[in-house]
Amino acid sequence: MLNKVPEVTLFFWIIKVLATTVGETVADFLSETLNLGLTGTSYVMGGVLLIVLFIQFKCKKYVPAIYWLAVVLLSVVGTLISDNLVDNLGVSLATTSIIFGAALTVVFIAWYMSEKTLSVHTITTTRREFFYWLAILFTFSLGTSAGDLISESSGLGYAYSALLFAAIISAVFMAYHFFKLNAVLAFWIAYIMTRPLGASNGDLLSQPVKTGGLGFGTTVTSIIFLLVILSLVIYLTFKQRRQTQVM
């Protein structure tokens, strides 16, 4: 089985941030705009995610359309898991951040003990892929809770929260590029931070002006970002086909 994860390029990070933004806005669109509610939206999106992940696991190589669809759906479901705990069960954002942080740590420990690596460049077995997607799910849930905790509960606001998370990601890049920070550690720190960055961007664009947003709404924001993701995935698909033909 070939590596099931794309190369970590600029396109990877762009689509990742866009997908996390969509995760925030689509979840709000389905549960609030379409009045499905958190519970109904969770059932629907959870079912669709399971179907897509089943297809993803059946593939023997990286397929851009399937892979990034799974990422977008995981972003939505990760957001819904956090929102259900906070809004329906009354768990505080600080508590959910700790819970998801601990869960992600357990996944990393189990993954490393089993495979002796956390590298995304060697997702070549079903077991490694299972650990990978489980880790991705918890990064989305953790990012949702941590992002909401900082941007809303702290009163920092969506714009300044986005700048804060962007600064953290930039610092990680600098540490990796100039001070030789471990590549695997740098990747996962940046990956976790892109979730609250995307969530802050999504809230900034979609939320009403009176609450600190720009007022574009979840519908417009979701459509714009989904179209951009679709365009990039189509480009990557054709690029992959050209490379295969050359080989």
pLDDT tens string 77-101:
988 898 899 988 999 988 999 999 9
pLDDT tens string 43-58:
999 999 999 999 999 9
Confidence of residue 160 (pLDDT cuts 50, 70, 90): confident
Confidence of residue 220 (pLDDT cuts 50, 70, 90): confident
Here the tokens at position 50 are: 């399971």
Q: Where are the domains of the chain?
A: 10-246
One-letter amino acid for residue 48 of the chain? V
pTM score, whole prediction: 0.88
Q: Nearest-CA neighbor of 147 among 100, 214, 188, 103?
A: 100
How far apart (Å, rounded) are the C-alpha atoms in residues 187 and 176?
A: 9
For residue 199, the model assigns a pLDDT of 79
For residue 111, the model assigns a pLDDT of 96
